[in-house]
């Protein structure tokens, strides 16, 4: 640091937007959000988080929050079922839908649509069959798409 001019310099009153060329001003260093202590976690985690927040302060958001309160992070709706919860289907084996073990095989996984709905949808897709067929025959289409086009064609 020659003559005390090295390192980061924070202006006392930065401009909100920098002007062009000779009218330009630094725009960093304005008001910032206060660091917030978050409790919980392992020993020393709270202080480490405070140090991180102080080393890279966030710009002021304009939204006032009470010190120590965090915004809600849980999405709205029902909570997911924990893995340790008792089963909600006691009569159904865990291998249901699997080709091995007790229970029905994979055929039960495809019968979830009302009777006749899949054929009605396939009939509605027949008008797109020329475009679908040209892509299926291009040589770059995935094998699953080619099978889908053959299914639509054969209905």
Q: Is 32 helix (H, G, I), strand (E, B) or coil?
A: strand
Residues pairing with 59 in the sheet: 32
The two most distant CA atoms of the chain are separated, in Å, by: 84
pTM flag (> 0.75): no
pLDDT tens digits, the chain, 155 residues: what are they? 556 677 776 666 655 566 677 666 655 556 677 788 888 788 888 888 888 888 877 776 655 555 555 555 666 678 888 889 898 888 888 888 888 888 888 877 765 555 566 677 877 888 888 999 999 998 888 988 888 888 888 87
* Stretch (H or E) spanning 131: helix 129-136
Count CB atoms within 10 A of the CB of residue 103: 13
Distance separating alpha carbons of residues 142 and 152, to the nearest angstrom? 16
Task: Tokens 């001003």: give the residue.
Answer: 25
Chain centroid to CA 24: 39
């Amino acid at each position: 640091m020659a003559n005390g001019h090295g390192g980061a310099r924070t202006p006392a009153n930065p401009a909100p937007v920098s002007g062009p060329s000779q009218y330009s001003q630094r725009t960093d260093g304005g008001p910032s959000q206060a660091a917030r202590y978050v409790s919980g976690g392992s020993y020393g985690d709270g202080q480490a988080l405070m140090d991180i927040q102080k080393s890279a302060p966030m710009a002021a958001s304009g939204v006032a929050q009470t010190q120590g309160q965090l915004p809600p992070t849980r999405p709205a709706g029902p909570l997911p079922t924990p893995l340790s919860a008792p089963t909600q289907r006691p009569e159904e084996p865990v291998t249901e839908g699997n080709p091995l073990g007790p229970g029905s095989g994979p055929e039960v996984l495809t019968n979830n649509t009302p009777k006749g709905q899949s054929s009605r949808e396939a009939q509605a897709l027949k008008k797109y069959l020329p475009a679908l067929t040209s892509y299926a025959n291009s040589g770059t289409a995935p094998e699953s798409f080619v099978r889908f086009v053959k299914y639509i064609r054969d209905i």
